[in-house]
Amino acid sequence: MTAFKVALVGGLRGQDVPEWVSERLRAENIDFAARECMSRQELAEIAGDADVVWVYGDHQTVYAENLDVLARCGAIIRTGSGTDNIPVPEATALGIIVANTPEAISDSVSNHAIGLLFAVIRQIAKQDRLMRRGVWDRYAGWPDWHLSGQALGLVGFGHIGRLVARKMAGFDMTILAHDPVVPAEVMARFGVQTVAFDDLLAQADFVSLHCPLIPSTYHLIDERALRLMKPKAVLINTSRGPVVDETALFRALNEGWIAGAGLDVFEQEPTPVDNPLLALDNVVVTPHIGGYSDEFYDNFWRFSVETAIDFAKGRMPRSYVNRDVKPRWTLAERDASGD
C-alpha cells in the first residue's frame, strides 16, 4: 500500500523546516517532502504523488492551471488564515478540501485589531509623533472618542471576530456582527447582535473587518459603504487590503465622512511610500503584522501538522473554507457546533 504523503511546496522564505515536524509526521506513518517550488515542473516533481499539498503562508505556486499535476491531491493546507492565494473554486470542483489554520494567528490578530482601535481613538500614534518633535500639547492629539455605551461592528464572525467580541465584552459596548455564513444563534452565544451589513455600518461607532478576501468582499468597503458610516466612526482593517477601496477610504478620511482608521493591510503590499493614506494624521498603520507574536512560528507549524495528521487519519480538519466541497475522500465529520 502506498504511504500517505504530505508535500510542503513553498512559502518558507529561507526558513528551515523544524526537525520535529518531519519526526512527528513520520511517527504517524506519513511520508513528508519539502521544497520551495517556483514552477509547475517543480510542483509536479514534489507533489504529483502527494495526498496533501501544504502551502506555507502566501506562496503562489498552486495556481488553478497547476492543479492538474496534483493527481492524488485530496486536500490543500494553507498555513494561516487567508486563502486568496489558493484557487478555491477550482479545487472545490475537483473535490479537493482547502484547509487553513486561523487558530494559529487568531489570538494575535484579534489583539492587533483591538490595539489599532485604541491607538486611533486614544490618539497614541499622533501623540507619540508630536512628543518626539518636542511638542507637548494635549489638545493637538485630543482623544475625541469613548467606548462605554458605543457600538462595535464586526464584519465577519469567524475565529478572529469572535475573539474580538469576547475581549471587548468588558467595555460596556453593544457588539454588532454581520457574517452571511454564521447563524444568528452562534452570534447570540457570544452576546453579539446579528445585523444586516448596511445596518451595521450605519449603527456602529467602530467597524472592524474580519472577513476573507473572496470575490464578494473585494472592495466591500467602497464609497457607498463609507458614506453609510457615522462621521465619527473609525474603521479597522486586519483582514485583507483589497476588502477596502483605498481611493474611497482616502476621500472618506480626508473629507470627514468618517473620523479615523487603523490599517494593518493594504491593496498593494508593501504599500508605496507615496500612498496618500500614509500622509493622514487620522490613520494608524502597521505592515501586515497582525498575526505576529512570540508564538507565531510555533503555532504556524503546529496547527498545520495537526491538520495534516487529521487528513491522514480520515478526519475532517478543524477549519476549511470550501464548505460546499464533495471530498474525494471519505472523512469523519467533526462537531462544528461551536465553529
**Which residues are the active-site residues?**
240, 269, 288
Contact criterion met (CB below 8 Å) for 291 and 103: no
Rounded distance between C-alpha atoms, residue 227 and residue 209, angstroms? 16
Other C-beta atoms within 10 Å of 326: how many? Answer: 10
Q: What is the DSSP string of 233-285?
A: -EEEE-S-GGGB-HHHHHHHHHHTSS-EEEES--SSSSPPTT-GGGG-TTEEE
- Sequence letter at residue 272: P
CA distances from 255 to 236, 276, 278 (A): 18, 13, 15
Cα–Cα–Cα angle for 252, 255, 260, nearest 5°?
55
Q: Is-contact 250 280, C-beta < 8 A?
A: yes
